[in-house]
Amino acid sequence: MTDRTALVCGAGLMGHGIAQVLAGAGYQVRLYEPEQSRAEAGRDRIAGNLQRSVDKGRITADERTEQLSRLSVETDLARAATGIEVAIEAVFEDEAVKRDLFALLDASAPAEAILASNTSSISITRLATSTRPERRPRVVGVHFFSPVPVMPLIELIRGAETSDETEAAIRALAGDVGKQVIVSRDRPGFIVNRILMPFLGEAMRAYDEGLGTAEDIDAGAKLGLNHPMGPLELADFIGLDVCLHIMEVLHEGFGVQHFAPPPVLRQLVDAGHLGQKSGRGFHTYPRS
Ligand code: CAA
């Protein structure tokens, strides 16, 4: 990486974490949200995370100040994209929203800038078509995992036109932020969600048919399989609306019943029970 100025679009769960790890790796990071209050909320979250790292003795107070000084919040996308080397979008998982954003980024970012999407399931090849043909070799999927500062993986998705140079640049960025790369072809759900979602879906169906309590299903995976979280609490952690969307993409993409979202998941989402973020999903939060 030459310039090391990165733009992160979206300051939510994934965006703030991506901005944090980039700032921690020495990048000048612009954190974009159209609303100032949301952009500042993202920065405040990063400041809070870094304070916990100071309290645990992992970084010094000066390092926290230095990392925060590399982070600016932006509400004007055209200005935020000026002179960047890479943009990573982590906005709402809606293809139309992401396409609009990519078109705007394409118009404002330098010709050599890489436009990356943190999408968990939307086709990179299709997203790339919202940019001009000469940009498409520089469009790529860069899928982080939550919590971003903790999870050591980046899933790199090559669209039909993604170049080897772009893959190499993203591998370098992953090295900078201390993450390991796996490369996936551009298929629904890529590698990780292709594996994960049927597992979560089966746990939901088992719960729905009364096979065991939510606590016992989760304990089964934690104690019997050594998973850090059970499948129902992991679904709550990811967000049940997010899980539903990914399962719909997989189901539509492959046309196989095995990927169909379980009715209980739809019911919870319809009722506004989205998991941890809404206080209720398969479990209630905060957990006792
Ligand atoms: N942000 C930053 N750091 C966090 C964090 C967060 N939200 N949550 C936990 N951490 C850190 C803690 O500060 C702690 O750090 P230290 O080691 O420096 O003290 C460390 O993680 C461990 O945390 P805790 O001791 O509090 O809790 P834990 O041991 O139970 O771990 C967990 C929490 C890391 C979330 C663990 O339960 C876990 O790994 N769960 C599975 C997460 C997972 O599978 N994520 C992928 C989801 S799929 C996805 O993201 C992609 C998609 O497309 C759906």
Q: Quick check: CB of 195 below 6 Å from ligand 1?
A: no
CATH 3.40.50.720 assigned to 5-185:
yes
What does the pLDDT read at residue 218?
A: 98
Type of residue numbered 153: L
Q: What is the pLDDT along the chain (288 residues), one digit of tens a residue?
A: 445 999 999 999 999 999 999 999 999 999 999 999 999 999 999 999 999 999 999 999 999 999 999 999 999 999 999 999 999 999 999 999 999 999 999 999 999 999 999 999 899 999 999 999 999 999 999 999 999 999 999 999 999 999 999 999 999 999 999 999 999 999 999 999 999 999 999 999 999 999 999 999 999 999 999 999 999 999 999 999 999 999 999 999 999 999 999 999 999 999 999 999 999 999 999 987
Buried b (16+ CB within 10 A) or exposed e, 96-121: eebbebbeebbebbeeebbbbbbbbb
- At residue 2, the pLDDT reads 42
Topology (CATH) of 193-270: N-(1-d-carboxylethyl)-l-norvaline Dehydrogenase; domain 2 (1.10.1040)
Say whether 153 sits in a helix, a strand or coil.
strand
Distance, in Å, from the CA atom of 250 to the CA atom of 195, rounded to the nearest integer, reads 11
Where exactly are the structural domains of the chain?
A: 5-185, 193-270
CA distance 13 to 94: 16
Q: How far is the CA of 169 from the centre of ligand 1 (A)?
A: 27
Please tell me the distance between residue 147's alpha carbon and the centre of ligand 1 in angstroms: 5
Query: How far is the centre of ligand 1, averaged over its atoms, from the C-alpha of 228 (Å)?
Result: 9
Pocket test for ligand 1, best of 52, 64, 93, 150 (most atoms within 8 A of CB): 150
Residue 234 CA, ligand 1 centroid: distance in Å = 11
Is the C-beta atom of 153 inside 6 A of ligand 1?
Answer: no
Closest atom of ligand 1 relative to the 146 alpha carbon: 50
Q: What is the pTM of this model?
A: 0.95
CB-ligand 1 contact for 191 (6 Å cutoff): no
Catalytic entry in 33, 85, 155, 233: 155
pLDDT at 152: 98
User: pLDDT at position 121, please?
Assistant: 86
* Distance between CA atoms of residues 233 and 103, nearest Å: 36
Catalytic residue among 108, 118, 130, 143: 143
Known catalytic membership, residue 248: no
DSSP-based helix, strand, coil % in the chain, nearest 5: 50, 15, 35
